[in-house]
């Protein structure tokens, strides 16, 4: 361990340098014995542990707001602010009294004060408070938490407030690392396709017995869903037909073996044949049967997939108009192996068969853009010798 004296760090230089790192903004609330709500804004909140579930924030030791919070007891609530709550943030940060005047609040079953309209809230019991220089490190054990709004967070960056509006998002799932180096190259064309069609575009990868949405661009079809990134679908008929059709015979048999009474073996065989002939996978179905494609669950159960009444790869000329395109996707190959499928989600509104065909053609043209960016990529399987 070095014993060399350290050069004093200028406080303003410290602030300016650390300000290059953006942070989210939260409001910590607590309720006193007299029912009064006290609180403070914090830009240094973090997740600490999954098991047990722990979070932490850092409060200036001499802060009066922190003193008032600490005096209420061991329970507090973290409110994650949205980009639209900058005025609320400034009010709570600036006022010494009446911090929550005009700010809508609700109270949970545990008695915590939650800001209406906050992106999320996390109810905690104080686990420990550690000294950290001129700050206290407050660790909380999570008791309850939930997401309230499907929107963007408020950020603090370079001394000011702003919003984070991503053109696309990609998973941090380490098990998909090999596929992600190719998916990342596709994000530009995905963003352009999402803007052209005013919908959501996804990259779907296979991971064992699951299909995982590895990246997404554009607006999520369901307004209450923040993102589909990380959502897992079972690799079971009828989903995953594009992968099964473009892999080896053993993979094809494995996928066919997942057929059930709800989606039978013969139907699965026929679907594979249609997908191979079309070079694209798509589904259409009326709004009343759209529950599978509208779900906000992050892990889609097999029974929900196989009970869906959507029609898969039925020739559009055989469908009575109007049709409702649920999704359409095409395969992306690298060095002859299918790496991911590039898909577009429908707008959940009736369109003509001609419009549906035009969307499918647009997805194909986007795939051409993608393969042009990836060495050794293509949109068709290269037969093995």
Domain ranges in the chain?
11-163, 168-378
pLDDT reported for residue 232: 86
Alpha carbons 236 and 210: distance in angstroms, whole number: 8
Name the band, by pLDDT with cuts 50, 70 and 90, for residue 46: very high
Mean pLDDT within 192-216: 90
Mean pLDDT within 126-132: 96
Mean pLDDT within 210-219: 88
* pLDDT of 304 above 90: no
pLDDT reported for residue 280: 94
3-state secondary structure the chain: CCCCCCCCCCHHHHHHHHCCCCEECEEEEEECCCCCEEEEEECCEEEEECCCCEEEEEEECCCHHHHHHHHCCCEEEEEECEHHHHHHHHHHHHCCCCCCCCCCEEECCCCCEEECCCCEEEEEEEEEEEEECCEEEEEEEEEEEEECCCCCEEEEECCEEEECCCCEEECCCHHHHHHHHHHHHHHHHHHHHHHHHCCEEEEEEEECCEEEEEEEEECCCCCCCCCCCCCEEECCCCCCHHHHHCCCHHHHHHHHCCCCCCCCHHHHHHHHHHHHHHCCEEEECCHHHCHHHHCCCCECCHHHHHHCCCEECCCHHHCCCCECEEEEEEEEEECCEEEEEEEEECCCCCECHHHHHHHHHHHHHHHHHHHHHCCCEECCCCCCC
**Cβ(154)–Cβ(86) below 8 Å:** yes
* pLDDT of 288 above 60: no
Alpha carbons 166 and 297: distance in angstroms, whole number: 22
pLDDT reported for residue 96: 85
Rg (CA), the chain: 26
Tell the residue number behind the tokens 């990529």, with chain if given.
377
* pLDDT of 301 above 90: no
Name the band, by pLDDT with cuts 50, 70 and 90, for residue 2: low
* pLDDT of 91 above 90: yes
* pLDDT of 198 above 60: yes
* pLDDT of 138 above 70: yes
β-pair partners for 276: none
Class of domain 11-163: mainly beta
* pLDDT of 27 above 90: yes
pLDDT reported for residue 318: 79
Q: What is the dihedral of CA 282, 286, 290, 293, to 10 degrees?
A: 20
Mean pLDDT within 95-123: 94
* pLDDT of 15 above 90: no
Burial label, 323 (beta-carbon count in 10 A; 0-12, 13-18, 19+): buried
pTM: 0.70
* pLDDT of 223 above 80: no
* pLDDT of 384 above 70: no
Q: Which residues contact 354 (CB under 8 A, 6 or more apart)?
A: none
Lowest mean pLDDT among 60-64, 182-186, 309-313, 326-330: 309-313
First to last CA, the chain: 61
**Cβ(121)–Cβ(112) below 8 Å:** yes
Name the band, by pLDDT with cuts 50, 70 and 90, for residue 256: very high
Alpha carbons 156 and 172: distance in angstroms, whole number: 23
Alpha carbons 41 and 34: distance in angstroms, whole number: 22
| Topology of the domain comprising 168-378 | Beta-Lactamase (3.30.450)
Q: In the predicted model, what is the mean pLDDT of the chain? A: 87
Name the band, by pLDDT with cuts 50, 70 and 90, for residue 289: very low
pLDDT reported for residue 18: 83
């Amino acid at each position: 361990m070095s014993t060399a004296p350290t050069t004093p760090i200028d406080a303003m230089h410290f602030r300016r340098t650390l300000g290059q790192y953006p942070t989210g903004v939260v409001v910590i609330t607590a309720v006193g014995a007299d029912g009064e709500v006290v609180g403070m804004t914090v830009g240094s909140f973090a997740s600490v542990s999954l098991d047990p579930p722990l979070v932490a924030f850092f409060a200036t030791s001499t802060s009066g707001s922190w003193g008032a919070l600490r005096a209420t007891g061991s329970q507090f609530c973290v409110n994650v602010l949205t980009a639209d709550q900058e005025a609320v943030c400034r009010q709570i940060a600036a006022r010494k009294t009446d911090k929550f005047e005009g700010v809508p609040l609700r109270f949970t079953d545990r008695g915590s004060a939650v800001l209406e309209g906050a992106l999320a809230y996390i109810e905690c019991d104080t686990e420990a408070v550690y000294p950290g220089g001129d700050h206290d490190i407050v660790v909380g054990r999570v008791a309850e938490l939930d997401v309230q709004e499907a929107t963007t967070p408020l950020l603090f960056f370079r001394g000011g407030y702003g919003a984070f509006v991503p053109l696309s998002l990609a998973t941090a799932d380490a098990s998909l690392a090999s596929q992600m180096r190719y998916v990342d190259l596709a994000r530009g064309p995905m963003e352009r396709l999402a803007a052209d069609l005013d919908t959501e575009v996804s990259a779907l990868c296979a991971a064992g017995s699951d299909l995982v949405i590895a990246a997404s661009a554009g607006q999520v079809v369901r307004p209450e869903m923040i993102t589909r990134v990380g959502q897992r679908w079972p690799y079971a008929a009828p989903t995953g037909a594009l992968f099964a059709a473009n892999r080896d015979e053993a993979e094809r048999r494995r996928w066919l073996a997942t057929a059930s009474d709800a989606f039978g073996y013969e139907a699965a065989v026929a679907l594979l044949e249609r997908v191979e002939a079309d070079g694209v996978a798509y589904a259409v179905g009326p709004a009343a049967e759209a529950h599978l494609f509208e779900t906000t669950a992050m892990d889609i159960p097999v029974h929900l997939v196989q009970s869906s009444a959507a029609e898969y790869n039925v020739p559009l000329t055989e469908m009575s108009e109007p049709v409702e395109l649920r999704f359409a996707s095409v395969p992306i190959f690298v060095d002859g192996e299918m790496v991911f499928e590039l898909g577009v989600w429908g707008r959940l509104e009736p369109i003509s068969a001609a419009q549906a065909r035009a969307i499918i053609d647009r997805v194909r043209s986007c795939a051409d853009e993608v393969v042009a960016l990836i060495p050794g990529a293509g949109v068709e399987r290269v037969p093995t010798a």
